[in-house]
Amino acid sequence: MSKLKVALDLIPEKIQGLVKDYAEDLEKAWMKKEDTEDLTVSFSAKFSVKQGKNTCEVGISFVPEKINDKSNFTWDDKQEKLPLKKGGKKIE
């Protein structure tokens, strides 16, 4: 198993959390921009070891009103992904 597998599996969920947290700000930024302008939203993931724990910091950044936020989580290389069920069916 890859040492990053668990973290890589969790990154989309953490990014979705940031998008949800900033959905209103993203909508405002979209409405404020000129028709000829783009709205660029950047996501990042930074892996490190802090205090002996594997750590991943995911981030979101966008303008026009500079928004830049990050969220950290730790993981264990030995942790297996839990099989979750939705409507009685296993989610892959």
- Whole-number Cα distances in Å, 35 to 31, 32, 70, 84: 9, 9, 29, 43
- Whole-number Cα distances in Å, 86 to 14, 17, 21, 43: 20, 19, 24, 28
Task: Return mean pLDDT, the chain.
Answer: 82
The pLDDT of residue 17 is 95
Residue 73 lies in a domain: yes
Residue 65 lies in a domain: yes
Strands 67-75 and 85-86 come out as unpaired
Domain range holding 63? Answer: 5-79
Residue 89 lies in a domain: no
Residue 72 lies in a domain: yes
Structure confidence by residue, pLDDT tens digits, 52-92: 999 999 999 988 666 677 878 787 777 666 565 655 555 54
Quick one: how far is CA 2 from the chain centroid?
Answer: 20
The pLDDT of residue 77 is 72
The pLDDT of residue 48 is 93
This prediction's pTM = 0.65
The pLDDT of residue 64 is 64
Number of domains within the chain: 1
Residue 60 lies in a domain: yes
